[in-house]
Amino acid sequence: MSVPTFNTAMLNWGRLILDGIPFVDLSEASTALEANVSWLEFWSAKADHYEELGTRALADGLELSGGYWLWLASLCCQYAQFLWFDDRREEVQQRKVDLYDRAAPHLSPPALRVELPIDDTFIAGYLRLPPGPRDGKVACVVLLGGLESTKEESYMFEQLLLERGLATFTFDGPGQGEMLAQVSLAPDFERYTSTVLDLLVTLEELDPDRIGVLGRSLGGCYALRSAATDDRFAACVSWGGFVSVEWEAEPPHDRASWQYVTKTGSEEEARVQVEANLDTRPLLPRLHCPTYVLHGALDEIPGEQVDLIRELAANAPLTVVVEPLGDHCCHNLGPAPRVAMADWLSIRLAR
Amino acid sequence: MSVPTFNTAMLNWGRLILDGIPFVDLSEASTALEANVSWLEFWSAKADHYEELGTRALADGLELSGGYWLWLASLCCQYAQFLWFDDRREEVQQRKVDLYDRAAPHLSPPALRVELPIDDTFIAGYLRLPPGPRDGKVACVVLLGGLESTKEESYMFEQLLLERGLATFTFDGPGQGEMLAQVSLAPDFERYTSTVLDLLVTLEELDPDRIGVLGRSLGGCYALRSAATDDRFAACVSWGGFVSVEWEAEPPHDRASWQYVTKTGSEEEARVQVEANLDTRPLLPRLHCPTYVLHGALDEIPGEQVDLIRELAANAPLTVVVEPLGDHCCHNLGPAPRVAMADWLSIRLAR
Mean pLDDT per 10-residue interval, chain A, length 351 residues: 57 94 94 90 98 98 98 98 93 98 98 98 98 88 97 98 97 98 97 98 98 98 98 98 94 93 96 97 98 97 97 98 97 97 98 90
pTM recorded for the entire structure? 0.96
Give the closest residue to A140 by CA, choosing from A192, A211, A208.
Answer: A211
CATH 3.40.50.1820-classified regions of chain B: 111-348
- Note the pLDDT of residue B6: 54
* Residue B187 at interface with chain A, using a CB cutoff of 8 Å: no
Task: Mark yes or no for CB contact A62/B108 under 8 Å.
Answer: no
Residue B198 Cα, gap to closest chain A Cα (Å): 31
Instruction: Respond yes or no on whether the N-terminal peptide bond of residue B109 is cis (omega within 30° of 0).
Output: yes
Query: What pLDDT is attached to residue B7?
Result: 56
Q: Return the CATH number of the domain spanning residue range A1-108.
A: 1.20.1440.110
* Chain B residues with CB-CB distance to A17 below 8 A: 17, 23
Pick the CATH number of B111-348 from 3.40.50.300, 3.30.390.50, 3.40.50.1820, 3.40.47.10: 3.40.50.1820
ipTM over 0.85: yes
List chain B residues with CB under 8 Å of A65: 339, 343
Element (H, E) at A344: helix A336-348
- Choose from B5, B23, B347 for mutation: most chain A CBs within 10 A: B23
The CATH code belonging to domain A109-348 is 3.40.50.1820
Q: Which pLDDT value is given to residue B79?
A: 97
Helix, strand or coil, per DSSP, at residue A123:
strand
Catalytic residue positions of B?
A: 148, 217, 299, 328
Ranges for all domains in chain A classified under CATH 1.20.1440.110: 1-108
Q: What is the pLDDT of residue A259?
A: 96
Distance from CA of B79 to the nearest CA of A (A): 18
Which portions of chain B are predicted below pLDDT 70? 1-7
Class of residue B86 by CB neighbours under 10 A (exposed 0-12, middle 13-18, buried 19+): exposed
pLDDT on residue A142: 99
Which B residues, 34 through 63, put their C-beta within 8 Å of a C-beta on chain A? 34, 53, 57, 60, 62
**Model confidence over B220-254: pLDDT tens digits?**
999 999 999 999 999 999 999 999 999 998 989 99
Distance to chain A for B316, nearest Cα, Å = 23
Q: What is the pLDDT of residue A1?
A: 33
> Which residues have C-beta within 8 Å of that of residue A335, sequence separation ≥ 6?
A18, B22
Which residue of chain A is at minimal alpha-carbon distance from B16? A23
Q: CB of B80 within 8 A of CB of B40? A: yes
Beta-carbon pairs below 8 A across chains A and B:
90
Report cis status (omega within 30 of 0) of the bond before A109: yes
Q: Is A319 helix (H, G, I), strand (E, B) or coil?
A: strand
Torsion-angle region of residue A165: left (phi > 0), alpha (psi -120 to 50) or beta?
left
Contact (CB<8Å) B24/A131 = no
How are strands ordered across the β-sheet holding B318-323? B112-118, B121-128, B167-171, B138-144, B206-216, B235-239, B291-296, B318-323
Interatomic CA distance for residues B77 and B45, integer angstroms:
9
Searching chain B, which residue's CA lies closest to the CA of residue A332? B24
B5 at the A interface (CB within 8 A)? yes
**Contact with chain A for residue B233, Cβ under 8 A:** no
- Minimal-distance CA residue of chain A relative to B26: A3
For every residue of B117-178, DSSP letters joined together read: EETTEEEEEEEE---S---S-EEEEEEE--SS--GGGGHHHHHHHHTTT-EEEEE--TTSGG
Q: Is B272 exposed, middle or buried (0-12, 13-18, 19+ CB in 10 A)?
A: middle
For residue A161, list chain B residues with Cβ-Cβ distance below 8 A. none
What is the C-alpha to C-alpha distance for residues A300 and A302, in angstroms, rounded to an integer?
6
Interface touch B1/A1, C-beta < 8 Å? no
Helix or strand run (H / E) with residue B212: strand B206-216
In angstroms, the CA A190 to CA B176 distance is: 57
Q: What local confidence, expressed as pLDDT, does residue A148 receive?
A: 95
Angstroms from B60 CA to nearest CA on chain A: 10
